[in-house]
């Protein structure tokens, strides 16, 4: 008997390439907004309702983690849930969940802020890099928490509560900024976060915290100022659209001959990406108040891309653009500046006939005429998306192994793609 998890890990996504794709792809709520906003529900004993939650593996894992801590969660449907943590039943985020989802670290700040204690398994490295959490821990220490690393767990104590501090992040960190913002809203006095992340997901979290009664200024700028309050209220909040899913759909649309309309494309979060699309010869054109279509020139132009923090080019779209640039007429370059090991999809694209070489942190992509179906493996969430796009536009059948990564971040992706004419199915690889 194989378990559900073992079954998932053996699942292979089989895609028949070159089908005509046509119809509407709707962008779901952002995973990377949903996770911190869910963690923020720890900060109050009142009810918080989240709408437009994506129905994803990572969201399910965060629900399980919150329930383990003592949250009562009621879901009206797959996308609307209410959360209430009246009194905690555990202060531990255990290894089992943290090892499956690094974003579990987001419960550390809110738990210490509200309860004065938390234990979170130390997230290890993952397939895209070492990904330490030292900056989260240093900032919490500056706020008066005592941190111990024992038996693979981070133990954070602040029995008398956290105190405001002036924090300068040496490196821009998205979940680090979110964790400390959540810790600071209930701390005594003022916290200033310098070199804060500017991502729309950080701003969305601040927006919800403010609705709960937090005093935050400067979100979306490198300097966030937070004046701690005694307690927070409940609220109702709608998660913003997923800019990475939207960008992924735009790449697919540009490479498909059909006519794909993208619904909920968040233009305002993708300004830089839209400019890069334009440089390649791809145009995002609004057709309705919440819909866009993608028009392209016959010949796609090669470009050089550097991944950087928001508002520049997101690392989370790097792999998908690598698939896109395989079809450019000439040589492109992509330099990955955020994670040290985020090129695992290169060898897989090369298996499909791509011509990509890696020199240090730069991938050199020579345009080719066609990709051909092959057995490939998904190495992380965004790499899986790149392989799915490649499979959909390649000649023949592509089998993507380890496809479970995809389900962490793309809501109902099989159904969405089938609805626009894709022919794909899952098999269990015995």
Residue 421 CB, nearest distance to ligand EPU (Å)? 27
Q: How many CB atoms lie within 10 A of CB 45?
A: 14
Q: How many CB atoms lie within 10 A of CB 163?
A: 17
When the beta carbons of 101 and 420 are compared against ligand EPU, the nearer one is 101
| Collapsed DSSP state (helix, strand, coil) of residue 211 | helix
Site for ligand EPU in 250-309 (CB under 6 A): none
Residue 174 CB, nearest distance to ligand EPU (Å)? 4
Among 21, 25, 34, 133, binds ligand EPU (CB under 6 A): 133
User: Of the candidates 257, 264, 246, which has an alpha carbon nearest to the alpha carbon of residue 320?
Assistant: 246
User: Of the candidates 216, 215, 217, 211, which has an alpha carbon nearest to the alpha carbon of residue 234?
Assistant: 211
Is the distance from CB of 280 to CB of 301 less than 8 angstroms?
A: yes
Applying CB under 6 A, the span of 60-68, 131-139, 206-214, 266-274 interacting with ligand EPU comes to 131-139
User: Of the candidates 390, 405, 301, which has an alpha carbon nearest to the alpha carbon of residue 351?
Assistant: 390
133 is in an annotated binding site: yes
Task: Determine if 316 is a binding residue for ligand EPU (CB under 6 A).
Answer: yes
Task: Determine if 136 is a binding residue for ligand EPU (CB under 6 A).
Answer: yes
134 is in an annotated binding site: yes
Task: Determine if 174 is a binding residue for ligand EPU (CB under 6 A).
Answer: yes
Residues that bind ligand EPU (rule: CB under 6 A) add up to a total of 23
Among 339, 343, 404, 410, binds ligand EPU (CB under 6 A): 339
131 is in an annotated binding site: yes
Is the distance from CB of 362 to CB of 333 less than 8 angstroms?
A: yes
Applying CB under 6 A, the span of 168-176, 214-222, 365-373, 417-425 interacting with ligand EPU comes to 168-176
Applying CB under 6 A, the span of 42-50, 170-178, 277-285, 319-327 interacting with ligand EPU comes to 170-178
The neighbouring-strand residues paired with 358 are 363
Tokens representing 399 are 């089998």
32 is in an annotated binding site: yes
Q: What share of the chain is helix, strand, coil (3-state, %, to 5)?
A: 35, 25, 35
Site for ligand EPU in 372-411 (CB under 6 A): 381-382, 409
351 is in an annotated binding site: no
Residue 126 known to be catalytic = yes
Interface mask (CB under 6 A) for ligand EPU, residues 73-112, using x and -? ------------------------------x---------
360 is in an annotated binding site: no
Among 12, 27, 35, 356, binds ligand EPU (CB under 6 A): 35
Is the distance from CB of 253 to CB of 221 less than 8 angstroms?
A: no
**DSSP per residue, 120-131:** EEPP--BTTB--
Among 129, 213, 234, 281, binds ligand EPU (CB under 6 A): 129
> Within 13 Å, how many C-alpha atoms sit on residue 323's CB side?
34
User: Of the candidates 430, 412, 283, which has an alpha carbon nearest to the alpha carbon of residue 422?
Assistant: 412
Is the distance from CB of 342 to CB of 313 less than 8 angstroms?
A: no
Is the distance from CB of 27 to CB of 265 less than 8 angstroms?
A: yes
Among 44, 79, 104, 175, binds ligand EPU (CB under 6 A): 175
When the beta carbons of 53 and 394 are compared against ligand EPU, the nearer one is 53
Task: Determine if 134 is a binding residue for ligand EPU (CB under 6 A).
Answer: yes
Among 7, 151, 171, 259, binds ligand EPU (CB under 6 A): 171
When the beta carbons of 321 and 327 are compared against ligand EPU, the nearer one is 321
**DSSP per residue, 256-310:** -SS-EEEET--GGG-HHHHHHHHHHTEEEEEEETTEEEEEE-SSPPP-EEEB-ST
What residue numbers does the annotated binding site cover?
A: 31-32, 102, 131-135, 316, 338
Catalytic amino acids?
A: 126
What residue numbers does the annotated binding site for phosphoenolpyruvate cover?
A: 31-32
- Positions in the binding site for ligand EPU (CB under 6 A): 31-32, 35, 103, 129, 131-136, 171, 173-176, 315-316, 338-339, 381-382, 409
């Amino acid at each position: 008997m194989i378990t559900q998890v073992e079954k998932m890990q053996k699942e292979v996504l089989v895609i028949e390439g070159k089908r005509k794709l046509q119809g509407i792809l709707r962008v779901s709520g952002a995973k990377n907004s949903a996770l911190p906003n869910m963690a923020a529900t720890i900060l109050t004993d009142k009810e918080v309702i989240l709408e437009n939650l994506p129905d994803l593996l990572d969201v399910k894992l965060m629900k399980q983690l919150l329930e383990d801590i003592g949250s009562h969660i009621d879901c009206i449907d797959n996308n609307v849930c209410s959360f209430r943590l009246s009194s905690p039943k555990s202060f531990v985020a255990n290894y089992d969940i943290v090892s499956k989802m690094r974003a579990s670290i987001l419960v550390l700040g809110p738990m210490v802020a509200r309860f004065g204690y938390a234990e979170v398994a130390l997230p290890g490295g993952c397939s895209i890099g070492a990904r330490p959490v030292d900056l989260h821990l240093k900032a919490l220490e500056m706020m008066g928490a005592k941190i111990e690393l024992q038996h693979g767990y981070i133990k954070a104590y602040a029995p008398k509560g956290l105190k405001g501090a002036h924090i300068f992040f040496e490196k821009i960190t998205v979940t680090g900024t979110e964790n400390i913002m959540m810790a600071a809203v209930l701390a005594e006095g003022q916290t200033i976060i310098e070199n804060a992340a500017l991502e729309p997901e950080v701003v969305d979290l601040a927006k919800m915290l403010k609705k709960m009664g937090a005093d935050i200024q400067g979100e979306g700028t490198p300097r966030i100022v937070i004046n701690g309050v005694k307690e927070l209220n409940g609220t109702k909040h709608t998660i913003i659209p997923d800019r990475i899913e939207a960008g992924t759909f735009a790449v697919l649309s540009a490479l498909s001959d059909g006519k794909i309309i993208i619904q909920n494309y968040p233009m305002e979060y993708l300004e830089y990406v839209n400019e890069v699309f334009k440089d390649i010869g791809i145009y995002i054109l609004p057709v309705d108040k919440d819909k866009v279509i993608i028009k392209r020139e016959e010949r796609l132009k090669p470009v050089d891309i550097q991944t950087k923090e928001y508002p520049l080019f997101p690392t989370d779209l790097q792999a998908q653009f690598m698939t896109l640039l395989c079809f450019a007429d000439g040589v492109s370059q992509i330099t990955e500046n955020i994670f040290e090991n985020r090129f695992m999809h290169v060898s897989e694209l090369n298996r499909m006939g791509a011509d990509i070489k890696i020199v240090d942190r730069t991938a050199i992509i020579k345009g080719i005429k066609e990709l051909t179906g092959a057995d490939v493996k998904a190495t992380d969430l965004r790499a899986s998306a790149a392989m799915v796009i490649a499979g959909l536009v390649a000649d023949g059948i592509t089998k993507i192994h380890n496809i479970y990564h995809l389900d962490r971040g793309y809501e109902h992706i099989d159904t969405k793609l089938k609805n626009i004419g894709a022919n794909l199915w899952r098999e269990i690889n015995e």
